[in-house]
Amino acid sequence: MKGGATTIYVCMNTDCKSRGAQSVIDALQAHLEKSGKTEFKVEPYICFSACNSGPNVVVTDQRCWLSGVQPSDAKNIVRYLQGGPPVERLQGKNDPDLEEMIFSLIDAGLISD
């Protein structure tokens, strides 16, 4: 994101919410605060249409889609955002066409702050 914070979207629709998406948001915010990383912000998002694999997290700038995210994953996600290794076990769980569609919407500015 030009001149601003990188947005980390967490799906908050019914399925993801019932699987603990709010706890994922809380954990990500806590780990970002602890690490002093102010260039990232965590935001709820209505739905990424991958309900069976949620909670889903999308990092817009990095074109990174993570699925089945739990609060305990927050530390590794923040480490990845700081240049560490990707959290591979949370990636590649969705239809590649769906992921490409969501990233196309992001690129077109239709999913933004």
User: Does residue 113 fall inside a structural domain?
Assistant: no
User: Does residue 49 fall inside a structural domain?
Assistant: yes
User: Does residue 54 fall inside a structural domain?
Assistant: yes
Dist CA 97 CA 39 (whole Å): 29
* Token pair listed for 18: 């019932």
Map 13-45 to HEC letters. Answer: CHHHHHCCHHHHHHHHHHHHHHHCCCCEEEEEE
Contacts of 98 (CB under 8 A, 6+ apart): 48, 49, 50
Q: Note the pLDDT tens digit of each residue in 28-44.
A: 999 999 988 778 999 99
User: Does residue 96 fall inside a structural domain?
Assistant: yes
Q: How many distinct structural domains can be found in the chain?
A: 1
Query: Domain range holding 99?
Result: 6-107
CATH number at residue 15: 3.40.30.10
Q: 0.85 cut: is pTM over it?
A: yes
Q: Note the pLDDT tens digit of each residue in 48-84.
A: 898 888 999 999 888 899 999 999 999 999 999 989 9
User: Does residue 112 fall inside a structural domain?
Assistant: no
